[in-house]
Amino acid sequence: MLASPGTGVLVLDQNDRPGAKLSLTGGGRCNILPAAADPSVYVTSSSRNSLAKILRGWSPGEARSFFAREAGVGIGPEAATGKLFAVPGGAPAVTGALEGIARRAGAVFRYRSRVSAISPSERGWTVSLECGESVESGRVVLATGGRSWPGTGSGGWGFAEAARLGHTVRPVYPALVPLLSGDPGFGSLSGIVVEATISSVFEGRPFSVRGPLLFTHRGFSGPVVMDASHAATGPRTAALSVSWGGLDRKAWEEALLAGRGLVRKALESHLPSRLAGLIVERAGLDPSIRFADLTRDGRMSLLAVLSACPLPVSGNCGWDEAEVTGGGVALEEVDPASLESRLHPGLHFAGEVLDAFGPVGGCNLYWAWLTGRLSAGARRPRKPSP
C-alpha cells in the first residue's frame, strides 16, 4: 500500500519486512522478468483491450534496462531454460535494490502497519490503520496482492476493499496451481516427468500450453499443469486434454503409421516406459500387441489416448500452493496509463489485486513492476491540499 501525504510517499505493509513473497520467487533466485510479454499469454476475465494497453506501458526490455542501470540488479538467463534470474543475489538483492531506490527518493517505510480501510475524504483519502491511527493522502495505491500464499501477507483484503468502494471484482480463484486427481493409474507414475501439451478453453478462448508435466502422488504438477490450471479452477471449469511427449496429433499419427514391432517399445522412444505401458492399457490394447496386429480401430483409440487424453482432475492444491490469484479488480475500471480508478480519482491499483496474471516464467513479477511503475507515475494530486 502506497500513500502520498503531501509530496512524500509512505509505504505501509502489515509484514515486518519488505518482499515476503518476493523472497520465494524462483525458489529464492527470482525469475524477475519474461524475455517478452505477448498479451495473448496473459489470463483475464476483463477487457483484453485494457490488458493490452496496460502491457504497452513499459516493455520487459525497458524493465530490464531499469534493473541493470538504475537498480544495479544483474539479470542473466538460466542455461537450460533461458528464464531470466536476478544474478548474483537473487530475490534479496532485488528487494534491497528497490527499497534503496525508494528510500533515496524520499519514501518512508512503515512495517507492521495493517490497513483496515481507505475512504474518500476532503483532502483525497483517509487511510485507517488497525492500530487506530490514520493517514491523510491525496493519492493511494492499493498493491495488496491476491490470495495466494496467504502466509506472506496476501489474504485478499484488497479485493474486499475495492468491492466496498464500488469496484467490480471478478471472482477470484487459485491459479498457477498443482492439480489433484484420484486416478490410480496416473498416481502410480508419481515422480515421472514428461513433455506434454495441454489444451483447454478459458472464457470461451481455446488455448494450448506446452512444457514438462510432473506426475505426483496427489495428481499433476510441473510448469505446463500450472500454466493450464486456471481452466480447471476458474469461473467456468473446462476439461483439460493432453497430447503426450511433445508430439501433436499429426506427428503421433505418422509415428503410428511408420511403427514396426512392439507398439509399447515404439512409444518408449517418445515417452517414459511406464507411461507408454499405461497408454497402451488405456487404449484397451494388449500390452504386448505388435503393429502388425493393430487394427484401424485399435490405432484410432491409441491415437486418441496419445494426442487427446482427458486429464482426470478432481480439484486443486488451493491458495497455499497457488503461485498467483486469478480474477480481481476489473481492468476496464482503471485508466490503463496510470491504473487510476475510473470511479475514484486518486485511487490506483497495482499488482496481483488486478484481474490479470501470466504464465510461469517472470510474467507475474513483470506485471507487478509494470503496474507499480504506472500507478506511481501519476503523481500530480487531483485535489489540492488546503
Residues of this chain that interact with ligand FAD (CB under 6 A) are 1, 12-15, 20-22, 24-26, 31, 114-115, 143-145, 148-149, 152-154, 157, 323-324, 351-352, 362-365, 368
The residue behind cell 467490480 is: 168
- Smallest gap from residue 195 Cβ to ligand FAD (A): 21
323 vs 333, beta carbon nearer ligand FAD: 323
Instruction: Characterize the bridge pairing of strands 10-12 and 2-3.
Output: antiparallel
When the beta carbons of 145 and 178 are compared against ligand FAD, the nearer one is 145
Q: Which is nearer to ligand FAD, 109 or 291 (CB)?
A: 109
Residue ranges with strand state E in 250-374: 309-310, 315-316, 324-329, 347-349
Rg (CA), the chain: 24
The torsion angles phi and psi of 91, rounded to 5 degrees, stand at -60, -40
Say if residues 361 and 34 touch (Cβ distance below 8 Å): yes
Taking the C-alpha atoms of 370, 373, 376 and 380 in order, what is their torsion angle to the nearest 10 degrees? -100
Q: Least distance in Å: CB of 267 to ligand FAD?
A: 34
We find the least distance from the C-beta atom of residue 381 to ligand FAD, in angstroms, to be 22
Side-chain-side CA neighbours of residue 282 (13 Å): 21
| Cβ 152 to ligand FAD shortest distance, Å | 6
Task: Give 152 or 338: the residue with its C-beta nearer to ligand FAD.
Answer: 152
Residue 66 or 291 with smaller CB distance to ligand FAD: 66
Residue 336's Cα: distance from chain center in Å? 20
Q: How far is CA 178 from CA 9, 101, 137, 264, 278, in A?
A: 38, 36, 41, 29, 22
The H or E element containing residue 9 is none
Least distance between ligand FAD and beta carbon 81 (Å): 12
List for the chain the helix, strand, coil content (%; round to 5).
35, 25, 40
**At its nearest, how many Å lie between ligand FAD and the CB of residue 231?**
19
User: Which residue lies nearest ligand FAD, judged by its C-beta?
Assistant: 351
- From the CB of 313, what's the least distance to ligand FAD, in Å? 21
Query: Measured from the CB atom, is 162 or 266 closer to ligand FAD?
Result: 162
Nearer to ligand FAD, 16 or 122 (CB): 16
